[in-house]
């Protein structure tokens, strides 16, 4: 491929990219739910679920990224907000859900809700006494992996015997440290509520 | 971890932690739990000899300050664990044994010494390098002097629950990428919720050429900017 053709191809690709970002309001085929949200939520034609993009308090618009697509939604004082004090106080990239209606040819947010912290069911907790029995047997005998989610310096200072260290903030990068057998028991601990 | 420790369960620590304490001259108590002969042949710098068989009468040699970090090592997991249990029962919550013992220490390329071990165990707590005093911190947070800059290094969702007025939020793990947002001409005062991440941030800032200190204490801040600091 010649240099010139490469450039043209690149320019076309960029133009295509820009076009897809600009065409926020139209197209029914655009995904309304970001793939990670689908793990717990069913797609709903009246709801957008994804990561928060820009919020303009002046233009009264909010962006939400639902996987490959970006939606632009109008809001006003009547938009119900749960999980945050103000729209511009929500951290960017935070998972949100917008219930919308169509209004004046665009989308209008009837409500915006911020994803609440994950709920953990009681039976998913292990107490120190039960853990001590497992730890006494050891990870191999007990067939479990114990993960210390604190930063490395805290782990180094004192950890539960047999634990491995994956700092929560670097968890995504270190998934390979988890056992390959996905049905193995995983136990996480940290420094408790801080 | 707090529940685990409170119940008196075994706590392990790493070679990296001991090395840091020795290299940076951080206060700690190091106990060699092997027999005296073995310890005199080779031991880790700064260790005191308390053989497991003679541990009971050695109780009075340990520091009065029960918060002292105590590290026990030997050449067998059993010996280290038994010594740990005894010291833990004496009421020292911050005792830990060295994983892998003296072998792991040597395998990591660290030096050992021979000869007599020290007799007296001396321990005095001291602030960690870069630590800002709690009163100093309060004063800075409340008066916000022009030459200081408060950096909240907690995650965004934690900061969303309440921050200091005038503070900026950049999570610890994003500092290196966002140095442009941190003023070079001010002293940076970093805080998180426990002191751990603030200390990591302090080192990152220092490495990048900033003048910085960090708050090594637990802190809670509510929506109105009201706060509560607990120093352990």
Per-residue pLDDT of A27-70, as tens digits, reads 457 899 998 888 888 999 999 999 999 999 999 999 999 988 99
Q: A102 with A179, same domain?
A: no
Residue A136 has pLDDT above 60, yes or no: yes
Across the interface, whether the CB atoms of B16 and A156 are under 8 A apart is answered: yes
Residues of chain B in contact with residue A96, where contact means CB-CB under 8 angstroms, are none
Residue A25 pLDDT exceeds 50 = no
Question: For residue B13, which residues of chain A lie inside 8 Å, CB to CB?
Answer: 156-159
Q: Are residues A89 and A132 part of one domain?
A: no
pLDDT at A10: 52
Same domain, residue pair A110 and A127: no
Q: Which tokens in the block code for residue A103?
A: 């209004």
Determine the average pLDDT of the residues in A177-192. 90
- Residues whose CB is less than 8 angstroms from the CB of residue A73 and which lie 6 or more positions away in sequence, other chains included: A48, A61, A62, A63, A64, A98, A100, A106, A107, A108, A109
Confidence of residue B187 (pLDDT cuts 50, 70, 90): very high
Contact B11 A84 (CB under 8 A): no
A116 and B CB contact within 8 Å: no
| Region of poorest pLDDT, from A68-77, B38-47, B116-125 | B116-125
Percent with pLDDT over 90 in chain A? 53
In the β-sheet with A164-165, what is the strand arrangement from edge to edge? A164-165, A144-148, A185-189
**Four-way CATH pick for B2-107: 3.40.50.1110, 3.40.250.10, 2.102.10.10, 3.20.20.80:** 3.40.250.10
Report the pLDDT value the prediction gives residue A17, as an integer from 0 to 100. Answer: 47
Q: How confident is the model at residue A193 (pLDDT cuts 50, 70, 90)?
A: low
Query: Which residues of B lie inside 8 Å of A (Cβ-Cβ)?
Result: 1-7, 9-14, 16-17, 20, 69, 94, 96, 99, 155-157, 159-160, 171-173, 193-194, 196-197, 199-200, 218, 223
CA dist B109 and A132 (Å) reads: 32
Task: For residue A42, give its domain range.
Answer: 24-114
Q: Under an 8 A CB cutoff, do A158 and B199 touch?
A: no
Question: Three-state DSSP class for A171?
Answer: coil
Tokens representing residue B157 in the block:
């969702």
**Is A1 domain-assigned?**
no
The chain A residue lying nearest B96, using CA atoms, is A158
Q: Between 3.30.870.10, 3.30.70.3280, 3.90.25.10, 3.40.250.10, what CATH number should domain B131-230 receive?
A: 3.40.250.10
Residue among A128, A151, A160 whose CB faces B200 most closely:
A151
* Residue of B24, B158, B161, B196 to mutate for A, most A C-beta atoms under 10 A: B196
How many domains does chain A divide into?
2
Which tens digits make up the pLDDT trace of B58-109?
A: 999 999 999 999 999 999 999 999 999 999 999 999 999 999 999 999 999 9
What DSSP element (H or E) covers B15? helix B15-23
Instruction: Give the number of other CB atoms < 10 A from CB of residue B142.
Output: 11
Q: What is the pLDDT confidence band of residue A121, given thresholds at 50, 70 and 90? A: confident
| Average pLDDT score over residue span A94-119 | 91
CB-CB neighbours of B70 under 10 Å: 25
Same domain, A31 and A80: yes
Count of CB atoms within 10 A of residue B49's CB?
A: 21
In chain A, residues 32-51 whose CB comes closer than 8 Å to chain B: none
Nearest CA in chain B to A194: B193
- Say how far residue B94 (Cα) sits from the centre of its chain: 10
CB contact under 8 A, A157 and B17: yes
Q: Is residue A8 part of a domain?
A: no
CATH of the domain at A94: 2.40.50.320
SS3 A131: helix
pLDDT 10s digits, B197-231: 999 999 999 999 999 999 999 999 998 889 999 98
Residues A142 and A168 in one domain: yes
From residue B164, give the alpha-carbon distance in Å to each of A88, B131, B140, B151, B225: 17, 19, 11, 9, 5
Q: How far is it, in rounded angstroms, from Cα A75 to Cα A80?
A: 9
In angstroms, the separation between the Cα of residue B1 and the nearest Cα of chain A is 5
Strand stretches in A75-178, DSSP E: 80-82, 95-103, 106-114, 144-148, 164-165
A172 CB neighbours in chain B (<8 A) are: none
List beta partners, residue B97. B12, B72
Residues of chain B positioned with their CB less than 8 A from the CB of A138: none
Q: Write phi, then psi, for A98 (nearest 5 degrees).
A: -120, 120
Q: Is A15 part of a structural domain of the chain?
A: no
A148 at interface of B, judged by CB pairs closer than 8 A: yes
Is A127 touching B (CB cutoff 8 A)? yes
* List of chain B residues whose C-beta atoms are within 8 Å of the C-beta of residue A51: none
The whole-chain average pLDDT of chain B stands at: 94
Task: Say which of A158, A160, A191 has its CB closest to residue B194.
Answer: A191
Strands (E), B77-194: 95-98, 131-132, 148-152, 168-169, 187-191
Predicted ipTM of the assembly: 0.76
DSSP element (H, E) containing A47 = strand A47-56
Angle, CA B168 vertex, CA B212 and CA B223 arms, to 5°:
125
Q: What is the CATH number of the domain that holds A129?
A: 3.40.250.10
Alpha-carbon span B219 to B167, nearest angstrom: 14
Boundary residue ending a domain (A86, A114, A142): A114
Please give the structure tokens belonging to residue A65: 């990224």
CA distances, A56 to each of A66, A68, B112 (Å):
18, 21, 63
Tell me whether residue A13 is in a domain. Answer: no
Structure confidence at residue B115 (pLDDT): 95
Last residue of a domain, one of A114, A130, A161: A114
pLDDT at A170: 84
Answer yes or no: are the C-beta atoms of B159 and B174 closer than 8 Å.
no
CB B48 within 8 A of CB B118: yes
In a domain, A185, yes or no: yes
Per-residue pLDDT at A4: 53
Residue A23 clears pLDDT 60, i.e. is over it: no
Average pLDDT on A82-91 reads 87
């Amino acid at each position: 491929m010649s240099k010139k053709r490469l450039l043209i191809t690149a320019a076309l690709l960029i133009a295509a990219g820009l076009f897809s970002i600009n065409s926020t309001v139209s197209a029914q085929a655009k995904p309304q739910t970001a793939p990670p949200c689908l793990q717990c939520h069913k797609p709903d034609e009246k709801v957008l679920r994804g990561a928060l993009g820009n919020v303009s308090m002046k233009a009264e618009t909010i962006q939400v990224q639902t996987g490959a697509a970006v939606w632009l939604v109008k809001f006003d004082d009547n938009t119900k907000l749960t999980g945050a004090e103000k729209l511009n106080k929500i951290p960017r990239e935070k998972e949100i859900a917008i219930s919308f209606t169509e209004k004046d040819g665009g989308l209008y947010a009837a409500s915006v809700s911020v994803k609440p912290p994950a709920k953990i069911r009681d039976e998913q907790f292990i107490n120190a006494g039960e853990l001590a029995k497992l730890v006494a047997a050891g990870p191999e005998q007990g067939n479990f992996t114990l993960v210390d989610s604190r930063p490395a310096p805290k782990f180094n200072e004192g950890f539960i015997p047999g634990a491995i260290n994956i700092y929560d903030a670097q968890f995504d990068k270190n998934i390979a440290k988890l056992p390959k057998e996905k049905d193995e028991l995983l136990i996480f601990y940290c420094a408790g509520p801080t | 971890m707090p529940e685990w420790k409170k119940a008196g369960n075994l706590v392990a620590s790493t070679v990296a932690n001991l090395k840091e304490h020795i290299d940076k001259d951080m206060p700690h108590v190091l106990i060699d739990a092997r027999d005296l002969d073995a310890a005199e042949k080779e031991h880790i710098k700064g260790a005191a000899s308390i053989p497991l068989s003679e541990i009971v009468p050695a109780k009075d040699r340990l520091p009065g300050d029960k918060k002292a970090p105590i590290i026990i090592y030997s050449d067998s997991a059993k010996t280290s664990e038994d010594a740990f249990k005894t010291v833990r029962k004496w009421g020292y919550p911050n005792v830990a044994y060295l994983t892998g013992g003296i072998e792991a220490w040597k395998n990591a390329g660290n030096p050992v010494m021979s000869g007599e071990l020290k007799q007296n165990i001396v321990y005095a707590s001291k602030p960690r390098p870069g630590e800002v005093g709690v009163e100093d911190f309060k004063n800075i947070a409340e008066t916000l002097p022009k030459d200081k800059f408060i950096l909240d290094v907690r995650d965004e969702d934690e900061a969303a629950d309440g921050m200091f007025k005038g503070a900026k939020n950049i999570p610890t793990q994003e500092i290196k990428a966002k140095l442009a947002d941190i003023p070079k001409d001010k002293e940076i005062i970093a805080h998180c919720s426990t002191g751990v991440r603030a200390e990591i941030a302090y080192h990152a800032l220092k490495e990048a050429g900033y003048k910085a200190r960090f708050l090594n204490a637990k802190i809670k801040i509510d929506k109105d900017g009201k706060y509560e600091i607990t120093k352990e």
